[in-house]
Structure 1
Amino acid sequence: MRALFASDPAQAMGRRVPEEESTFRSCYQRDRDRIIHASAFRRLKHKTQVFVEHEGDYYRTRLTHSIEVAQVARTISGALGLNSELTEAVALAHDLGHTPFGHTGEDALHLLMSPYGGFDHNAQAIKIVTSLERHYAEFDGLNLTWDTLEGIAKHNGPVVGDLPYALAEYNAVHDLELHTHASAEAQVAALSDDIAYNNHDLHDGLRAQLFSEEEIAQLPLIGAAYAEVDTRYPDTDPYRRRHEALRRVFGMMVADVIETSRQLLAEADAGSAAGIRRLGYPVIRFSPQMWQDIRAIRNFLFARMYRAPSVMEKRAEVTVVVEELFPLFLENPDLLPRHWAREIEAAAQDRTTLARMVSDYIAGMTDRFAYAEHARLVGGKA
């Protein structure tokens, strides 16, 4: 049964370009489907989280991560009586704006773009779904509902202060009320992201042998999970043991969000999706103890995985790829895609506009394409 504070497709805030509604799908279903069919969504297959795309077939990519986030988000949303279709749409779109090479690529591009307004992957996701995807005859972008756009823009909370230029430009023509918290559905997508990447980074770090099971068993939640598996399945093989333990950790995080948020929602007594936005605080949360435990796991992963010597070496390598491609395209815009020729010509006298076009192009690259273009245009290994 859907709660009173759930987002109701019949009360959705509409699309920037009005469209006739579908007979068979709600507006949020259509948003989700358009995101799945977007070119930017397909490219997530060859963009990685921590490891570079070619390092192994078993490591998570942005695509598999987004699917895992959507799965967690649907579960939590359903348990809380929220609109699972809106939750899934936001979850699937939340990483569309990421560059090649994960956060390393984003850091490099942000620094290069600092004279031209910087770079932010959440703002880039808004730019993709409102402008850069160009498949429809009547509009640029995907023409998503306000509700989905709001969720993409501020699923991590209100966006205040100096706005990333891509978000500021769109918000000026279509107010997303960036100063408020998003719907409960978008808040679910944000915490589902935390749950998914903590879980799969433990899996991927173990597979990469950056740390051992004995080491992570000293962390909160994880030791108890391994102990339970060892008691219940004393003779299971190591791979199954690992999976059984980590899926229990995963389950504990999900259960904690549901229990904590259920209590917060009851106390808030918002009565509507608009009421959730007006509360001034998030209602989808971990309990204080769970958040403390998750922070301990994050700190471990930061030290032992994200800053591992082998990962740092690869970070330095891929940073050079972005650092050398950006000025090359900026000084030689004829190297940009031919179908951009008209826009490139219009931007010829405005370096900021041209730099932002270069940023869009590089941000849209997959890991493998960025490597290949660097090898072709600059030299070095592909």
Structure 2
Amino acid sequence: MERVHNFNAGPAVLPEEVLREAQADLVNYKGMGLSVMEMSHRSKEYEAIINEARDAAKRIYGLGDDWDVLFLHGGASLQFVMIPMNFLPEGKIANFIHTGVWSKKAMAEVKKLGKPVHIAASSEDKSFSYIPKTYQLSDNPAYLHITTNNTIYGTEWKIDPDVPKDVPLIADMSSNFMSKPIDINKYSFIYAGAQKNIGPAGCAVILVKKDFLATGATNLPSMLDYQLHSKNGSLYNTPPCFTIYMIGLVLKWIENYGGLAKIEENNKAKAKYIYDVIDASNGFYRGTVVPEDRSLMNITFRLPSEELENLFISEAKKNGMIGLKGHRDVGGCRASCYNALPLNAAYDLAEFMKNFQKQNG
């Protein structure tokens, strides 16, 4: 069967080369006579797999020995509660820039712990259609938390924010992780669910400065203790072995592609195909985000009616393009153009959009 153009927001498209390599290794990994899914996580062979993934992540972002990379269960959502448990001591306040559903959920977990939250800035006043350009920290901030790309609303931080040197910057990068170069030195802690840009579901990747890690609480349940996971090389318990193996393959693919600069160049080209059609449609397609804050990863738009949107999604599927329905909270349409989406998929969608407007405009 020919592969479809997969615009799903996550779990999302993976590089075909990675899938084929995994397919070849699935039953008999490197001549070992067993699959990675059957391999002991305490074996030297699996230790090599997880170490190679960790080293690749550090190379791609240019991380030195002052950073650690963790692979943990629970996806990004578990980090919503682990972060305040580890890094929000008594007398300090968690600061957030509120840009949509995911920051709201992260704040809710802090509040469930009975700990204080301060909204330093918010775009809720305009239905999260923009990224706030200024913010006001509370007294005694423990950290500032941002969501760098908003999968549901289609906004993205284009410039790494400046924060005072004594305020750690924490970022949920789940939906634009490894999609472009960043100023890594502005951050203390970055986390991302794997299932958008770097692998299948089942794992969160954490990049953490070791000096920030050392400030964490030490009296936590073991599975919620970042320092314990770091000391054990993400092998305190049985990790999501196959997901980490797949992440390693995707990271190798990113390096072979040319790294983050080449990845970003391709992502910009894909997004331009689609945004150009929206902008030239005389209102038939209406973008939901101010142009300067449009995401390269999640392109959100509306048509003149819900009936037309449903027809658009149905006709696109008949033409081999899936996953274009907007999130249930906001409706409309959404094209997720993650790293692994081929350039020709975005081009084909843009051409379909033009033809659909001619037939229904």
The answer to whether the superposition gives a TM-score over 0.5 is no
Q: Tell me which protein shows more helix as a share of its residues.
A: 1
Q: Tell me which protein shows more strand as a share of its residues.
A: 2
TM-score, length-scaled by structure 2: 0.29
TM-score, length-scaled by structure 1: 0.28
